[in-house]
């Protein structure tokens, strides 16, 4: 473990990870919850996201609206996000005022009130978020893709939930979910920045070493990937001026030992304007306006995804090229291309680690998904990737069937 990173465990089971970043005068305090849409069902789908909204709307010590004012008046910024695997909250502010961040986050995660009037006020706000998603021209494409990739698992559902569910949520439902899933056993507290270690741990104990919640909720532990018996092709027509496409192959979950090979492979074939796919499909053949590729790793499943945009009528050419390109991947996996990809990944990581907020986010993500080595050993693991590792990972994924989904002009 990096000498400037230390891990502790509070008496109630909360993981605390401290990252010393001296001379920054800024600290980022984040709390990551091991819960998201993956722990929902058809009847309460969307509750993780709705609850994320509600913990800002009044706690034991803060009236609605007070939290934002308190953080801003201390020179800080805060936000939160909900995903399929996790929910996280973060506050970044001058390190001299960091106690405010500990206080506010503790109140939100242990002492939210769920005031009935605030619940009813927030429902139409979230319903409007749900309605706005239909404004995105590729909305149907992505919903369909996730349903086909992860059919019969929680990952097939959308994080935001349904309008019907949101309107039906009761205070009792929210409290039950909150008490079980916003539980110390599901929390990782990350502190990154210019804070003395003793002070950081003192504040962690003061505000988070509590044990006043019921037993932790049972977390999803199944396998999400489905086996594809054949290629799946689906098209949608919308009022768009270009074609949008996704080609997705099922892949191992984020705990796979191929994770770093996927990172290097992604960088080689689609990392930057002059990567293999951009050079060939955009600059040489001129059949795409943009193209990207990368590994999507989830706690219980994964996928390797190609995304592209192109002029009307060009999607077939793009997919045909990918079909012919994949068997020839070995031609592009040489010492020079691997070294360039590694250097780009290392420089991106070094730049990112100059900021306390992004550093804390990397730590929280890695610990919450159960892959702390992804943070601690990333540079070392990337350096050790060899051509044989990349080709083995590519063969594992690309020897299977894929899902081809497109959004075309029309409708």
Rounded Cα–Cα distance for residues 195 and 18 (Å): 9
Tell me the sheet residues that pair with 233: 404
Per-residue model confidence as pLDDT tens for the chain (411 residues) = 565 899 999 999 999 999 999 988 999 999 999 999 999 999 999 999 999 999 999 999 999 999 999 999 999 999 999 999 999 999 999 999 999 999 999 999 999 999 999 999 999 999 999 999 888 999 999 999 999 999 999 999 999 999 999 999 999 999 999 999 999 999 999 999 999 999 999 999 999 999 888 888 889 998 898 889 999 999 999 999 999 999 999 999 999 999 999 999 999 999 988 899 999 999 999 999 999 999 999 999 999 999 999 999 999 999 999 999 999 999 999 999 999 999 999 999 998 888 999 999 999 999 999 999 999 999 999 999 999 999 999 999 999 999 999 999 997
Q: Where are the domains of the chain?
A: 5-208, 232-409
Q: Record the pTM.
A: 0.94
**DSSP-derived 3-state class of residue 391:** helix
Residue range 164-205, pLDDT digits in tens? 999 999 999 999 999 999 999 999 999 999 999 999 999 999
Question: What is d(CA 160, CA 146) in angstroms, rounded to the nearest whole number?
Answer: 14
Which is nearest to 182 in space by CA: 142, 135, 214? Answer: 214
The pair phi, psi for residue 77, each rounded to 5°, is -130, 150
**24 in Cβ contact with 194 (< 8 Å):** yes
Q: How far apart are CA 142 and CA 18, in angstroms?
A: 37
- The two three-digit tokens of residue 204, written as one number: 């962690």
Query: Which pLDDT score is estimated for 2?
Result: 60
Q: Find, among 232, 236, 267, 270, the residue nearest to 249 by Cα.
A: 232
Return the CATH superfamily for domain 5-208: Metalloenzyme, LuxS/M16 peptidase-like (3.30.830.10)
- The C-alpha atoms of residue 20 and residue 193 are separated, in whole angstroms, by 6
Same CATH fold assignment for domains 5-208 and 232-409: yes
**pLDDT at residue 311, rounded to an integer:** 96
By residue count, the chain amounts to: 411
Helix or strand (DSSP H, E) at 407: strand 403-409
Going by DSSP bridges, is the β-strand pair 87-94/77-82 parallel, antiparallel, or unpaired?
antiparallel
pLDDT at 385: 97
Check residue 3 and give its pLDDT. Answer: 56
CA distance 195 to 360: 13
Six-digit token pair at 98?
């960091």
| CATH architecture of residue range(s) 232-409 | 2-Layer Sandwich (3.30)
What strands lie across the sheet with 403-409, from one edge to the other? 232-238, 403-409, 243-251, 302-310, 290-297
Q: Which residues pair with 342 in a beta bridge?
A: none
Residue 31 near residue 88 (C-beta atoms within 8 A): yes
């Amino acid at each position: 473990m990096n000498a400037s990173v230390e891990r502790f465990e509070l008496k109630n089971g909360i993981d605390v990870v401290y990252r010393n970043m001296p001379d920054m005068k800024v600290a980022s305090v984040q709390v990551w919850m091991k819960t998201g849409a993956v722990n929902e069902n058809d009847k309460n789908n969307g509750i993780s996201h709705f609850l994320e909204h509600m913990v800002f709307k009044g706690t034991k010590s803060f009236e609605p609206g007070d939290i934002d004012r308190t953080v801003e008046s201390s020179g800080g910024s805060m936000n939160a996000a909900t995903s399929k695997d996790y929910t996280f909250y973060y506050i970044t502010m001058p390190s001299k005022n960091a106690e405010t961040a500990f206080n506010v986050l503790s109140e939100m995660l242990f002492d939210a009130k769920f005031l009935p009037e605030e619940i009813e006020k927030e429902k139409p706000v979230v319903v409007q978020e749900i309605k706005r998603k239909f404004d995105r021209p590729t909305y149907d494409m992505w919903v369909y893709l996730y349903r086909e990739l992860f059919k019969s698992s929680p990952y097939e559902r959308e994080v935001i939930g349904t309008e019907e569910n949101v309107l039906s949520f009761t205070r009792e439902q929210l409290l039950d979910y909150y008490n079980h899933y916003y539980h110390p056993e599901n929390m990782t507290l990350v502190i990154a920045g210019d804070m003395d270690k003793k002070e950081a741990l003192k504040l962690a104990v003061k505000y988070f070493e509590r044990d006043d919640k019921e037993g932790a909720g049972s977390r999803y532990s199944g396998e999400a990937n489905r086996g594809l018996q054949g290629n799946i092709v689906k098209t949608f027509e919308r009022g768009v001026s270009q074609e949008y496409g996704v080609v997705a192959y099922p892949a191992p979950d984020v705990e796979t030992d191929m994770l770093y090979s996927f990172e290097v492979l992604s960088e080689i074939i689609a990392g930057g304007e002059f990567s293999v796919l951009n050079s060939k499909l955009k600059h040489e053949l001129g059949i795409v306006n943009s193209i990207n590729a990368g590994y999507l790793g989830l706690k219980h499943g994964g996928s390797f995804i190609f995304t592209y945009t192109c002029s009307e009528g060009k999607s077939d050419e793009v997919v045909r090229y990918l079909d012919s390109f994949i068997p020839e991947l070995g031609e592009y996996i040489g010492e020079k291309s691997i070294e360039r990809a590694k250097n780009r990944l290392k420089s991106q990581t070094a730049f990112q680690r100059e900021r306390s907020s992004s550093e804390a986010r990397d730590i929280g993500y890695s610990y919450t998904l159960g892959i702390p080595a992804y943070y601690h050993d990333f540079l070392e693991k990337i350096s050790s990737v060899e051509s044989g590792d990349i080709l083995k990972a590519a063969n594992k994924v690309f020897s299977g069937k894929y899902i081809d989904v497109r959004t075309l002009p029309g409708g």
